[in-house]
Amino acid sequence: MVKKSGRVVLALSGLTLCVAAFLFLFPVADHHELPDSVGQEDEHSDGQEPITPIPLEVKLDARKVALGRRLFFDPKLSHDNTVSCSSCHDLAKGGVDGLPFPVGVGRREGKINTLTVFNSSFNFRLFWDGRAASLEEQMDFQLKHPDEMASTWDEVTAKLGNDASYRRDFSSIYPDGIQISTVKDAVSTFERSLITPNARFDRFLRGDKQALDQDELAGYGLFKNLGCISCHQGRNVGGNMYEKLGIVGDYFIQRGNVQEIDYGRYNITKIEEQRHDFRVPSLRNVALTAPYFHDASASTLEQAVAIMGKYQLGVDLSGEEVRKIVKFLNTLTGVYQSEAGK
């Protein structure tokens, strides 16, 4: 255990490193176009907290949302007609599959843990390594990946073109009918509708000071004071920067069995300084999205918090500290609009 006298120094050193990366290397910014309401200040937020509420609604074309939803649940997008977007992004399970690694066509297992589709439009890049700049671009990787959908755009558009109802629905919205661009647009529009507003913490930010109990408030205080907030802030409580996994301690040496997937951002840029850098995940609905980390190495939120304290901040958190932080994280669970009857 780290002594209390040393804890402050280590926590501050970890915080300094995170803040330095945050301010100078990875500025907070949305790098792709978002719905009209995204980016507007919430009228009930006083702007004093490092986390801001999710908007209660976004302005989207309802016809595109409906068409995109149909495509999202349709296994025709996969080569063997067995896997849909919803197979790995189950809306009833926090937008993930609950598995360590996704299972694609031919029951082939992927190599990296599934990130939630909920609130994904608020992330500045997509995937753990940030390879995609938009939801539209992201579809290329998943559709073509041999361990996921193993398909091609020619195959997908041909299948959809053979379906009279899809021809009708596309032509009623898009003058060009079924095209790669229109399929991407429909699915991405639906995904932009997958927001989870009105979490208890959002209600707290909007002025309901009774929304959190004392333990949850104490957990939020620890979350800020220990330095977690330096990487997990903003509307998505993350998702707006890259950071190295293992700032204070070498996570991968301790875990062992290092794989190519563990190199993170380095696999895209080949910049040595970015080895083991990952896009910071959003903590929205994090209580629903176990297991955690790109390697699914933490099966519970308690384990994940303790690991983050050790390797990102240099702090051995006590059981009570972990409990309170987890209580705070549970207040980030929002409400998917279909569940609210909207």
For the annotated catalytic residues, the residue numbers are 148
Torsion of CA 249, 236, 26, 2, to 10 degrees: -20
Closest CA to 122 of 301, 340, 284: 284
* Contact in structure between 128 and 263 (CB atoms under 8 Å): no
For residue 44, count other CB atoms closer than 10 A to its CB.
13
- How far apart, in whole angstroms, are the C-alpha atoms of residue 157 and residue 215? 52
- How far apart, in whole angstroms, are the C-alpha atoms of residue 32 and residue 187? 16
Burial class (CB in 10 A: 0-12, 13-18, 19+), 73: middle
Phi (first) and psi of residue 90, to 5 degrees: -75, 115
